[in-house]
């Protein structure tokens, strides 16, 4: 009887250990993250005073887990900046549309001193660089509209911090604050352009493959 109990116990321990190892081995390292952002920024452009603009943007990123807490992410970001200005005595509106390619490293940290395997709430932090191009700039007045395209490339730096909530083993949502700014100027046709002090509130949805 003792031998049977010992054999059964060893068998259960082996099965549990195998199941835990299989779960860890099968844990996905690849995550798709979609993010929406609303914020404000300053546009520095030749021929104008510094312009205060509203921003709306969206990211489509793939994140790869490098370790227990950290991961690397990249993808594409689309952004629009909208502002009003005065040109030649007339009121005008300016809308700039950007495409960005970010490369970020970020991490998720357990909050409230909980065990990471059981925690559903994480502090999310990240930082990185991006390449940016101004796809289109549209200037509208009461009487006319002018559109220019493909206005150059530059690069910048980005930081974010927020809170991530696990909905299930594969899905999560998040909310937080992001700040970014260009480190160089776009230059084309004698005009220099730069986006400064872009601050946004973001909302994210993540899905692990």
**pLDDT tens figures, 36-49:** 999 999 999 988 88
Q: Give first-to-last CA distance, the chain, whole Å.
A: 46
Residue 17 lies in a domain: no
Query: Residue 190 sits in a domain of what CATH number?
Result: 2.40.160.20
Residue 9 lies in a domain: no
The whole domain housing 59 covers: 28-208
- The whole-number pLDDT of residue 31 equals 95
Residue 7 lies in a domain: no
Residue 16 lies in a domain: no
Residue 113 lies in a domain: yes
- How large is the average pLDDT for residues 65-75? 91
- The whole-number pLDDT of residue 142 equals 84
Share of the chain above pLDDT 70, in %: 83
**pLDDT tens figures, 101-157:** 999 999 998 877 666 566 789 999 999 999 999 999 999 988 888 999 999 999 999
Token output for 200: 């946004």
Half-sphere exposure of 90 toward its Cβ, with a 13 Å CA cutoff? 11
Residue 76 lies in a domain: yes
**pLDDT tens figures, 158-188:** 999 999 999 998 999 999 999 999 999 999 9
pLDDT at 15 over 50: no
Residue 21 lies in a domain: no
Residue 6 lies in a domain: no
Q: Which is nearest to 119 in space by CA: 109, 110, 106? A: 110
pTM: 0.82
- The whole-number pLDDT of residue 91 equals 86
Tally of domains within the chain: 1
């Amino acid at each position: 009887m003792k031998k049977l109990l010992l054999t059964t116990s060893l068998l259960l321990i082996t099965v549990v250990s195998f199941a835990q190892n299989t779960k860890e081995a099968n844990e996905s390292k690849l995550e798709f993250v979609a993010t929406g952002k609303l914020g404000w920024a300053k546009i520095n452009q030749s021929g104008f005073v510094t312009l205060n603009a509203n921003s709306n943007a969206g990211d489509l990123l793939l994140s790869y887990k490098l370790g227990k807490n950290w991961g690397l992410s990249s993808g594409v970001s689309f952004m629009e900046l909208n502002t009003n200005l005065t040109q030649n005595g007339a009121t005008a509106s300016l809308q700039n549309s950007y495409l960005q390619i970010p490369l970020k490293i970020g991490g998720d940290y357990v909050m409230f001193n909980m065990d990471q395997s059981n925690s559903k709430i994480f502090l999310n932090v990240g930082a990185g660089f991006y390449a940016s191009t101004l796809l289109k700039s549209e200037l509208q007045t009461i009487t006319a509209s002018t559109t220019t395209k493909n206005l150059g490339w530059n690069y910048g730096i980005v930081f974010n911090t927020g809170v991530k909530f696990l909905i299930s083993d594969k899905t999560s949502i998040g909310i937080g604050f992001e700040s970014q700014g260009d480190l160089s100027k776009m230059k084309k046709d004698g005009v220099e352009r730069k986006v400064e002090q872009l601050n946004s509130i973001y909302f994210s949805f993540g899905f692990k493959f």
